[in-house]
Amino acid sequence: DQQVKQNSPSLSVQEGRISILNCDYTNSMFDYFLWYKKYPAEGPTFLISISSIKDKNEDGRFTVFLNKSAKHLSLHIVPSQPGDSAVYFCAASGLGAGSYQLTFGKGTKLSVIP
Amino acid sequence: EAGVAQSPRYKIIEKRQSVAFWCNPISGHATLYWYQQILGQGPKLLIQFQNNGVVDDSQLPKDRFSAERLKGVDSTLKIQPAKLEDSAVYLCASSGASGSYEQYFGPGTRLTVT
């Protein structure tokens, strides 16, 4: 039973346009959410995060939106660049007292076309 | 600051053989994680260490997998005997300050069991 779902395995976007990656979760106990970016043959690298007490967090070209009632979050990349082409993982944390363990989705492969 | 180091980067073994992976976390990071990432899936937590003690190993298949973190620094993950379904990338991650959600990943070890 998947608690963090990324239903789009892949996404293609033109350079300069907006990329929107989506993530849904089922467990209302999750209280912190992160996005990781992964290039081939490398480990995931942290991109941006959001606490459940916020509905938006912005860092440069990257913005994460959280809709708690819908148990949904999204990552917006504006403008998209070819170097953004990678697999993006949504992760959630907060299960268990004092736990910072991450539960990951399956990932979405973003291709930014020049 | 040096990142998380892992070795070897690639390993091919036959089923029923044994294999060991090594991880050196970022200096000063007290928490260390081992993940298994099967092709097309997100990373799945196997075990979490805090210093040299195990915090959670509930998802570690203990009949064949073992892990240790002597002296609270380096860690090794062992599989004995390996099965075909153990083919995956094994990722090591570490985190620093107490209560930190952000994890830093190594490049991973790609294991192929034939």
B56-70 per-position pLDDT tens digit: 999 999 999 999 998
B7-27 per-position pLDDT tens digit: 999 999 999 999 999 999 999
Q: Which of these, B89, B88, B91, B47, lies nearest to B69 by C-alpha position? A: B47
Whether residue B8 is preceded by a cis peptide bond, meaning omega within 30 degrees of 0, is yes
Q: Are A7 and A66 in contact (CB under 8 A)?
A: no
Burial class (CB in 10 A: 0-12, 13-18, 19+), B4: buried
Whether residue B25 is preceded by a cis peptide bond, meaning omega within 30 degrees of 0, is no
Contact residues, chain B to chain A, C-beta under 8 Å: 4, 31, 33, 40-45, 48, 56, 91, 93, 95, 99-108
Whether residue B81 is preceded by a cis peptide bond, meaning omega within 30 degrees of 0, is yes
CB of A34 within 8 Å of a chain B CB? The answer is yes
Q: What's residue B113's pLDDT?
A: 98
Helix (H, G, I), strand (E, B) or coil at A53: coil
Closest-CA distance of chain B to residue A99, Å: 8
A10-41 per-position pLDDT tens digit: 999 999 999 999 999 999 989 999 999 999 98
Q: What's residue A54's pLDDT?
A: 96
Closest-CA distance of chain B to residue A2, Å: 11
* Alpha-carbon span B36 to B26, nearest angstrom: 20
| Mean pLDDT over each residue of chain B, to the nearest integer | 93
Q: Are A98 and B48 in contact (CB under 8 A)?
A: no
Pairwise CB contact (< 8 Å): A41 & B107: yes
Partner-chain residue, chosen from B41, B44, B105, that has the shortest CB–CB distance to A44: B105
Instruction: Provide, as residue numbers in chain A, all residues whose Cβ is less than 8 Å from the Cβ of B42.
Output: 4, 89, 91, 104-107
Closest-CA distance of chain A to residue B100, Å: 7
* Alpha-carbon span A112 to A43, nearest angstrom: 20
Instruction: Provide, as residue numbers in chain A, all residues whose Cβ is less than 8 Å from the Cβ of B106.
Output: 43
Partner-chain residue, chosen from B40, B56, B105, that has the shortest CB–CB distance to A106: B40
pLDDT bin (cut points 50, 70, 90) of residue A45 is very high
* Alpha-carbon span A110 to A74, nearest angstrom: 14
Q: Are A49 and B95 in contact (CB under 8 A)?
A: no
Burial class (CB in 10 A: 0-12, 13-18, 19+), B30: middle
Pairwise CB contact (< 8 Å): B105 & A105: no
| Mean pLDDT score, A82-107 | 87
Q: What's residue A96's pLDDT?
A: 55
Partner-chain residue, chosen from B43, B93, B101, that has the shortest CB–CB distance to A49: B101
Paired residues of B1 in beta bridges: none
* CA-based end-to-end distance of chain A: 38
Pairwise CB contact (< 8 Å): B101 & A102: yes
pLDDT at B97 over 90: no
Q: What's residue A61's pLDDT?
A: 98
